[in-house]
Amino acid sequence: MSKNQSKMFWLDIKFAFSLIKKNKLVVLGFIIVLIFIFLAIFGEFLVDPKTPSKIDFKNKLLPPSRDHIFGTDDNGRDIFSLIILGAKYDLFIAVSVISFSILIGIIIGSISGYFGGIVDEIIMRITDIFLAFPGLVLAMAIASVLGRSFTNLMLALIIVWWSSYARVIRGQFISEREKPYVSAAKLLGLSNFRIMFRHILPNTIYPLLILATMDMGGVILTAAGLSFIGLGPSPFEPEWGSLASSGSIYLFQAPWIMFFPGISILLASLGFNLVGDGLRDVLDPRLRR
Protein backbone atom coordinates (compact mmCIF):
# COMPACT_ATOMS: atom_id res chain seq x y z
CA MET A 1 0.00 0.00 0.00
CA SER A 2 1.39 3.37 -0.93
CA LYS A 3 1.65 6.06 1.66
CA ASN A 4 -1.04 8.11 0.02
CA GLN A 5 -3.34 5.16 -0.11
CA SER A 6 -3.01 4.25 3.54
CA LYS A 7 -3.56 7.88 4.43
CA MET A 8 -6.81 7.86 2.45
CA PHE A 9 -7.76 4.64 4.16
CA TRP A 10 -7.32 6.13 7.62
CA LEU A 11 -9.20 9.23 6.58
CA ASP A 12 -12.01 6.95 5.46
CA ILE A 13 -12.05 5.13 8.80
CA LYS A 14 -11.90 8.38 10.72
CA PHE A 15 -14.72 9.80 8.70
CA ALA A 16 -16.76 6.65 9.22
CA PHE A 17 -16.32 6.88 12.97
CA SER A 18 -17.20 10.55 13.00
CA LEU A 19 -20.46 9.63 11.28
CA ILE A 20 -21.14 6.74 13.62
CA LYS A 21 -20.46 8.79 16.71
CA LYS A 22 -23.14 11.25 15.70
CA ASN A 23 -25.82 8.61 16.11
CA LYS A 24 -26.15 7.38 19.72
CA LEU A 25 -28.34 4.42 18.75
CA VAL A 26 -25.72 3.09 16.35
CA VAL A 27 -23.11 3.29 19.10
CA LEU A 28 -25.47 1.33 21.33
CA GLY A 29 -25.92 -1.26 18.56
CA PHE A 30 -22.16 -1.58 18.21
CA ILE A 31 -21.75 -2.12 21.95
CA ILE A 32 -24.44 -4.80 22.00
CA VAL A 33 -22.96 -6.61 19.03
CA LEU A 34 -19.44 -6.46 20.48
CA ILE A 35 -20.65 -7.89 23.83
CA PHE A 36 -22.49 -10.61 21.94
CA ILE A 37 -19.42 -11.58 19.95
CA PHE A 38 -17.25 -11.43 23.08
CA LEU A 39 -19.57 -13.79 24.94
CA ALA A 40 -19.73 -16.17 22.02
CA ILE A 41 -15.95 -16.47 21.91
CA PHE A 42 -14.97 -16.26 25.58
CA GLY A 43 -18.19 -17.46 27.23
CA GLU A 44 -16.66 -20.82 28.15
CA PHE A 45 -13.99 -19.14 30.21
CA LEU A 46 -16.39 -16.90 32.05
CA VAL A 47 -18.74 -19.52 33.42
CA ASP A 48 -18.68 -23.25 34.00
CA PRO A 49 -18.83 -24.83 30.51
CA LYS A 50 -20.48 -27.94 31.91
CA THR A 51 -23.55 -26.08 33.12
CA PRO A 52 -25.94 -27.53 30.49
CA SER A 53 -25.44 -31.08 31.79
CA LYS A 54 -25.36 -30.16 35.48
CA ILE A 55 -28.82 -31.16 36.46
CA ASP A 56 -29.64 -30.29 40.05
CA PHE A 57 -33.30 -30.84 40.97
CA LYS A 58 -32.78 -29.50 44.48
CA ASN A 59 -32.25 -26.01 43.09
CA LYS A 60 -34.82 -26.03 40.35
CA LEU A 61 -36.99 -23.00 39.52
CA LEU A 62 -35.13 -20.69 41.90
CA PRO A 63 -35.91 -17.00 41.37
CA PRO A 64 -33.06 -14.56 40.65
CA SER A 65 -30.83 -14.25 43.70
CA ARG A 66 -27.24 -13.50 44.54
CA ASP A 67 -26.09 -17.03 43.70
CA HIS A 68 -28.12 -17.26 40.50
CA ILE A 69 -28.62 -13.72 39.23
CA PHE A 70 -31.02 -14.82 36.48
CA GLY A 71 -32.45 -17.67 38.56
CA THR A 72 -32.47 -21.39 37.66
CA ASP A 73 -34.55 -23.44 35.24
CA ASP A 74 -36.68 -26.55 35.66
CA ASN A 75 -33.53 -28.70 35.74
CA GLY A 76 -31.86 -26.49 38.32
CA ARG A 77 -29.34 -25.08 35.87
CA ASP A 78 -28.06 -21.51 36.25
CA ILE A 79 -29.79 -19.43 33.55
CA PHE A 80 -27.10 -16.73 33.50
CA SER A 81 -24.44 -19.33 32.61
CA LEU A 82 -26.74 -20.94 30.05
CA ILE A 83 -27.34 -17.65 28.30
CA ILE A 84 -23.65 -16.86 28.16
CA LEU A 85 -22.89 -20.32 26.81
CA GLY A 86 -25.80 -20.05 24.37
CA ALA A 87 -24.42 -16.92 22.71
CA LYS A 88 -22.05 -18.97 20.56
CA TYR A 89 -24.87 -21.11 19.19
CA ASP A 90 -26.91 -18.12 18.12
CA LEU A 91 -23.93 -16.28 16.65
CA PHE A 92 -22.87 -19.43 14.85
CA ILE A 93 -26.32 -19.90 13.34
CA ALA A 94 -26.50 -16.27 12.25
CA VAL A 95 -23.01 -16.15 10.75
CA SER A 96 -23.22 -19.46 8.95
CA VAL A 97 -26.73 -18.98 7.60
CA ILE A 98 -25.85 -15.52 6.28
CA SER A 99 -22.52 -16.56 4.80
CA PHE A 100 -23.88 -19.61 3.07
CA SER A 101 -26.83 -17.59 1.79
CA ILE A 102 -24.45 -14.94 0.46
CA LEU A 103 -22.27 -17.56 -1.15
CA ILE A 104 -25.19 -19.21 -2.93
CA GLY A 105 -26.67 -15.79 -3.66
CA ILE A 106 -23.46 -14.54 -5.25
CA ILE A 107 -23.06 -17.58 -7.47
CA ILE A 108 -26.64 -17.67 -8.64
CA GLY A 109 -27.35 -13.94 -8.62
CA SER A 110 -24.20 -13.04 -10.54
CA ILE A 111 -24.78 -15.63 -13.26
CA SER A 112 -28.36 -14.52 -13.56
CA GLY A 113 -27.60 -10.80 -13.63
CA TYR A 114 -24.50 -10.92 -15.80
CA PHE A 115 -25.70 -13.22 -18.55
CA GLY A 116 -29.38 -12.29 -18.48
CA GLY A 117 -31.70 -13.82 -21.05
CA ILE A 118 -33.11 -17.29 -20.64
CA VAL A 119 -30.70 -18.29 -17.82
CA ASP A 120 -31.86 -15.28 -15.84
CA GLU A 121 -35.50 -16.10 -16.56
CA ILE A 122 -35.22 -19.65 -15.24
CA ILE A 123 -33.22 -18.76 -12.14
CA MET A 124 -35.52 -15.92 -11.22
CA ARG A 125 -38.63 -18.09 -11.49
CA ILE A 126 -36.98 -20.54 -9.08
CA THR A 127 -36.24 -17.81 -6.57
CA ASP A 128 -39.82 -16.64 -6.99
CA ILE A 129 -40.97 -20.01 -5.71
CA PHE A 130 -38.89 -19.61 -2.58
CA LEU A 131 -39.91 -16.02 -2.07
CA ALA A 132 -43.58 -16.82 -2.51
CA PHE A 133 -43.81 -18.54 0.89
CA PRO A 134 -43.53 -16.63 4.14
CA GLY A 135 -39.99 -17.32 5.39
CA LEU A 136 -40.92 -18.65 8.80
CA VAL A 137 -43.56 -21.03 7.48
CA LEU A 138 -41.25 -22.45 4.83
CA ALA A 139 -38.43 -22.86 7.36
CA MET A 140 -40.86 -24.62 9.70
CA ALA A 141 -41.91 -27.03 7.00
CA ILE A 142 -38.34 -27.82 6.00
CA ALA A 143 -37.09 -28.13 9.58
CA SER A 144 -39.87 -30.49 10.56
CA VAL A 145 -39.26 -32.67 7.50
CA LEU A 146 -35.52 -32.81 8.19
CA GLY A 147 -35.97 -33.56 11.86
CA ARG A 148 -34.88 -31.87 15.04
CA SER A 149 -31.21 -30.93 15.13
CA PHE A 150 -28.89 -27.98 15.16
CA THR A 151 -27.59 -28.54 11.60
CA ASN A 152 -31.06 -29.11 10.19
CA LEU A 153 -32.19 -25.84 11.70
CA MET A 154 -29.37 -24.06 9.89
CA LEU A 155 -30.05 -25.91 6.66
CA ALA A 156 -33.71 -24.91 6.76
CA LEU A 157 -32.78 -21.27 7.30
CA ILE A 158 -30.24 -21.27 4.45
CA ILE A 159 -32.81 -22.72 2.07
CA VAL A 160 -35.18 -19.92 3.01
CA TRP A 161 -32.62 -17.15 3.00
CA TRP A 162 -30.47 -17.52 -0.14
CA SER A 163 -33.10 -16.43 -2.61
CA SER A 164 -33.32 -12.88 -1.32
CA TYR A 165 -29.54 -12.53 -1.67
CA ALA A 166 -29.65 -13.92 -5.18
CA ARG A 167 -32.20 -11.23 -5.99
CA VAL A 168 -30.19 -8.38 -4.55
CA ILE A 169 -26.96 -9.47 -6.22
CA ARG A 170 -28.69 -9.98 -9.53
CA GLY A 171 -30.07 -6.45 -9.35
CA GLN A 172 -26.64 -5.07 -8.56
CA PHE A 173 -25.07 -6.97 -11.44
CA ILE A 174 -27.67 -5.75 -13.88
CA SER A 175 -27.06 -2.14 -12.97
CA GLU A 176 -23.28 -2.55 -13.02
CA ARG A 177 -22.94 -4.57 -16.21
CA GLU A 178 -24.00 -1.64 -18.40
CA LYS A 179 -21.31 0.62 -16.97
CA PRO A 180 -18.37 1.60 -19.17
CA TYR A 181 -15.78 -0.09 -16.98
CA VAL A 182 -17.45 -3.43 -17.65
CA SER A 183 -17.58 -2.76 -21.41
CA ALA A 184 -13.93 -1.77 -21.21
CA ALA A 185 -13.04 -5.00 -19.42
CA LYS A 186 -14.90 -7.05 -22.05
CA LEU A 187 -13.09 -5.23 -24.81
CA LEU A 188 -9.75 -5.94 -23.24
CA GLY A 189 -10.56 -9.59 -23.64
CA LEU A 190 -10.89 -10.42 -19.95
CA SER A 191 -12.79 -13.59 -19.15
CA ASN A 192 -16.39 -13.43 -17.99
CA PHE A 193 -15.39 -15.07 -14.73
CA ARG A 194 -12.84 -12.36 -14.06
CA ILE A 195 -15.18 -9.55 -15.00
CA MET A 196 -17.89 -10.95 -12.76
CA PHE A 197 -15.84 -11.57 -9.65
CA ARG A 198 -12.87 -9.24 -9.90
CA HIS A 199 -14.60 -6.21 -11.41
CA ILE A 200 -18.31 -6.20 -10.72
CA LEU A 201 -18.53 -8.01 -7.38
CA PRO A 202 -16.30 -5.62 -5.37
CA ASN A 203 -18.48 -2.78 -6.56
CA THR A 204 -21.61 -4.43 -5.21
CA ILE A 205 -20.21 -5.34 -1.81
CA TYR A 206 -21.43 -2.36 0.23
CA PRO A 207 -25.16 -2.91 -0.22
CA LEU A 208 -24.50 -6.58 0.45
CA LEU A 209 -22.70 -5.80 3.69
CA ILE A 210 -25.56 -3.62 4.90
CA LEU A 211 -28.17 -6.23 4.05
CA ALA A 212 -26.12 -8.97 5.72
CA THR A 213 -25.75 -7.05 8.97
CA MET A 214 -29.42 -6.21 9.08
CA ASP A 215 -30.30 -9.85 8.37
CA MET A 216 -28.14 -11.19 11.21
CA GLY A 217 -30.79 -9.98 13.62
CA GLY A 218 -33.50 -11.53 11.46
CA VAL A 219 -31.79 -14.92 11.41
CA ILE A 220 -31.29 -14.91 15.19
CA LEU A 221 -34.94 -14.07 15.67
CA THR A 222 -36.19 -16.71 13.22
CA ALA A 223 -33.85 -19.39 14.57
CA ALA A 224 -35.02 -18.64 18.08
CA GLY A 225 -38.61 -18.77 16.89
CA LEU A 226 -38.10 -22.19 15.30
CA SER A 227 -36.44 -23.67 18.34
CA PHE A 228 -39.12 -22.12 20.53
CA ILE A 229 -41.75 -24.19 18.74
CA GLY A 230 -39.58 -27.25 19.16
CA LEU A 231 -37.73 -27.44 15.86
CA GLY A 232 -34.38 -26.51 17.31
CA PRO A 233 -31.51 -28.33 19.02
CA SER A 234 -31.70 -30.48 22.15
CA PRO A 235 -31.84 -28.91 25.65
CA PHE A 236 -28.15 -29.70 26.11
CA GLU A 237 -27.31 -27.15 23.48
CA PRO A 238 -28.50 -23.99 25.27
CA GLU A 239 -29.58 -22.06 22.19
CA TRP A 240 -31.61 -19.07 23.41
CA GLY A 241 -34.79 -19.99 21.58
CA SER A 242 -34.91 -23.47 23.08
CA LEU A 243 -34.08 -22.05 26.54
CA ALA A 244 -37.03 -19.72 26.24
CA SER A 245 -39.14 -22.60 24.99
CA SER A 246 -38.33 -24.74 28.00
CA GLY A 247 -39.51 -21.90 30.22
CA SER A 248 -42.85 -21.48 28.50
CA ILE A 249 -44.66 -24.02 30.65
CA TYR A 250 -43.48 -22.23 33.80
CA LEU A 251 -44.50 -18.82 32.47
CA PHE A 252 -46.49 -17.94 35.62
CA GLN A 253 -44.55 -20.04 38.08
CA ALA A 254 -41.05 -18.97 37.05
CA PRO A 255 -41.25 -16.21 34.43
CA TRP A 256 -37.48 -15.58 34.56
CA ILE A 257 -36.74 -18.79 32.66
CA MET A 258 -38.39 -17.36 29.59
CA PHE A 259 -37.75 -13.69 30.23
CA PHE A 260 -33.95 -13.60 30.22
CA PRO A 261 -33.35 -15.68 27.06
CA GLY A 262 -36.11 -13.67 25.40
CA ILE A 263 -34.46 -10.39 26.27
CA SER A 264 -31.13 -11.71 25.00
CA ILE A 265 -32.66 -12.62 21.63
CA LEU A 266 -34.30 -9.23 21.39
CA LEU A 267 -31.14 -7.34 22.26
CA ALA A 268 -28.95 -9.30 19.85
CA SER A 269 -31.25 -8.83 16.88
CA LEU A 270 -31.80 -5.17 17.76
CA GLY A 271 -28.05 -4.66 18.01
CA PHE A 272 -27.41 -6.01 14.50
CA ASN A 273 -30.22 -3.95 13.08
CA LEU A 274 -28.85 -0.77 14.59
CA VAL A 275 -25.38 -1.52 13.29
CA GLY A 276 -26.82 -2.21 9.84
CA ASP A 277 -28.56 1.14 9.94
CA GLY A 278 -25.35 2.83 10.91
CA LEU A 279 -23.40 1.08 8.16
CA ARG A 280 -25.90 2.27 5.62
CA ASP A 281 -25.30 5.85 6.66
CA VAL A 282 -21.54 5.42 6.61
CA LEU A 283 -21.33 3.55 3.33
CA ASP A 284 -23.81 5.73 1.50
CA PRO A 285 -21.64 7.20 -1.25
CA ARG A 286 -23.73 10.35 -1.40
CA LEU A 287 -22.38 11.39 1.98
CA ARG A 288 -18.78 11.15 0.90
CA ARG A 289 -16.32 13.26 -1.05
* Spatial CA neighbour of 139 closest among 151, 156, 154: 156
Stretch that binds other proteins, among 59-67, 176-184, 209-217, 223-231 (CB under 8 A): 176-184
Among 15, 30, 92, 197, indicate the residue that binds other proteins (CB under 8 A): 15
State yes or no: residue 99 binds other proteins (CB under 8 A): no
Binding mask 124-163 for other proteins (x = CB under 8 A): ----------------------------------------
Is residue 171 within 8 A of residue 211, CB to CB? The reply is no
- Cβ closest to other proteins, residue 145 vs residue 188: 188
Is residue 63 within 8 A of residue 256, CB to CB? The reply is yes
SS3 content of the chain, % helix, strand, coil (to 5): 80, 0, 20
Angle at 254 between CA 72 and CA 90, to 5 degrees: 60
State yes or no: residue 50 binds other proteins (CB under 8 A): no
- Amino acid identity at 52: P
Is residue 168 within 8 A of residue 105, CB to CB? The reply is yes
State yes or no: residue 180 binds other proteins (CB under 8 A): yes
Stretch that binds other proteins, among 27-35, 76-84, 195-203, 233-241 (CB under 8 A): 195-203
State yes or no: residue 186 binds other proteins (CB under 8 A): yes
State yes or no: residue 203 binds other proteins (CB under 8 A): yes
Count the Cβ atoms, other than its own, within 10 Å of residue 38.
12
State yes or no: residue 4 binds other proteins (CB under 8 A): yes
Stretch that binds other proteins, among 21-29, 33-41, 83-91, 178-186 (CB under 8 A): 178-186
Would you give the DSSP letter of residue 199?
A: I
Q: Which backbone phi and psi does 251 adopt, to 5 degrees?
A: -50, -40
Residues paired with residue 72 on neighbouring β-strands, in sequence order: 78
CB of 202 to other proteins, least distance (A): 5
Query: Site residues (CB under 8 A) for other proteins?
Result: 1-2, 4-5, 8, 11, 14-15, 18, 179-181, 183-191, 194, 198-199, 202-203, 288-289
